[in-house]
Structure 1
């Protein structure tokens, strides 16, 4: 695929992995909409800031109405609250799961109108395994994985390529408090863009994630 002919919307594009996606896609010649709750926080040259809150129906609908030329959607926005109370877990699901639902429902018709396109959902190694201190985050990512598989089946007929991205800790703010090795955001972005070009359904970005996925019983 020639990214110079693509128009891409990246959610959560003002920092971390989303920002790296936006920067790399601009380098490859794509037209890039950088979605963020506060568009003023998007400061990179070459991207187009867009006000987008994936937890807000009206915000998502307004973005879809404005961005009718999108051919690739990268659902990168995610949140880790790491609280054990119900309100904290609800906040994680609002972004990590219901955000995917809102974005899919709003932008699937646009992708169809533009030839099918690609929908990328950034998930986690915790889609496959639990973590007691992050139970809401893990559950929301597992739900996101299930949603992604259903979305792939639902949108296949309109020619939309749906990709699930799973990775361990990435060297961003979200994992700042975690010890141990972390993936470079640039490495994850490179793998995802290659998957778009290859037509792959899944990215398992590191060896641990690949091992955990391989150990699942189906």
Structure 2
């Protein structure tokens, strides 16, 4: 599980352990960020220092975690600003992390999961994938790209016994939401859900085999509208400032 040190990732890790996961690999970029996560259950939680933008770090993670059957791509970043004038380096960082990071992880861990008899890949995306909200830079574009990649992965991995699930959270009480609200305050009109509630809904959806998981009330509402009128969702999200 990438991004396991806080927010949705940390809540997902706790929920997996509560559901009797035999072992969980908790990945984050800094070892000190993983110390409290590992301390909660040192017998079952294995810390992995992992930067998803680094091919070398991903290769090391594959060697350290040879028994993986479920990969959760949760790590992500947001750099605030308007695409028309923000620093291009900041946009590129979001694309490297939110798009190329999961791509590298899937390419690296799909053979591991297949070797272990199959399993699942869970990509934590966002309802932001459905519309280009101004003020949050390249984040919506990165999530739209991850959504389309998830669809492609799903078809490619069926023959290898691996299911692929896209998760589309709405506002969640995380540090990332607090950061986004400073640039797009209209996001605050939607009441956020706790990471714990989202984590439970994600694992429930995974157990049901749902290809798309909308894990909170706002995302379920957006998902229902998107199913019948994608342009309506696009208008709602692009008009947020």
Q: 1:199: Cα distance to partner?
A: 1.1
Q: Is 1:167–1:209's contact at 8 Å kept on the other side of the alignment?
A: no
Distance 1:213 1:55 in 2: 31
Structure 1 residues 170, 151: closer, same or farther in 2, change over 3 A?
same
**TM score, norm. by length of structure 1:** 0.91
Structure 2 unaligned spans of 5+: 182-187, 232-241
Distance 1:115 1:194 in 2: 22
Tell which has more relative contact order, 1 or 2 (C-alpha 8 A, sep 6+). 2
Residue of structure 2 in register with 1:4 after alignment? none
Residue of structure 2 in register with 1:7 after alignment? none
Question: Does 2:33 align with 1:36?
Answer: no
Determine which of 4, 13, 19 is the counterpart of 2:10: 19
Residue of structure 2 in register with 1:68 after alignment? 66
Distance 2:142 2:170 in 1: 15
Question: Does 2:190 align with 1:187?
Answer: no
Structure 1 unaligned spans of 5+: 1-9
Give the 3-state SS of the residue equivalent to 1:175 in structure 2: helix
Determine which of 112, 133, 139 is the counterpart of 1:131: 133
Residue of structure 2 in register with 1:213 after alignment? 226
Q: Is 2:73–2:102's contact at 8 Å kept on the other side of the alignment?
A: yes
Look at both structures and tell me which one has the larger radius of gyration over its CA atoms. 2
Q: Is 2:4–2:10's contact at 8 Å kept on the other side of the alignment?
A: yes
**TM score, norm. by length of structure 2:** 0.83
Distance 2:175 2:163 in 1: 29
Q: Is 2:52–2:58's contact at 8 Å kept on the other side of the alignment?
A: yes
Q: 1:66: Cα distance to partner?
A: 1.4
- Runs of at least 4 residues off by over 6 Å: none
Q: 1:212: Cα distance to partner?
A: 4.3
Q: 1:209: Cα distance to partner?
A: 2.5
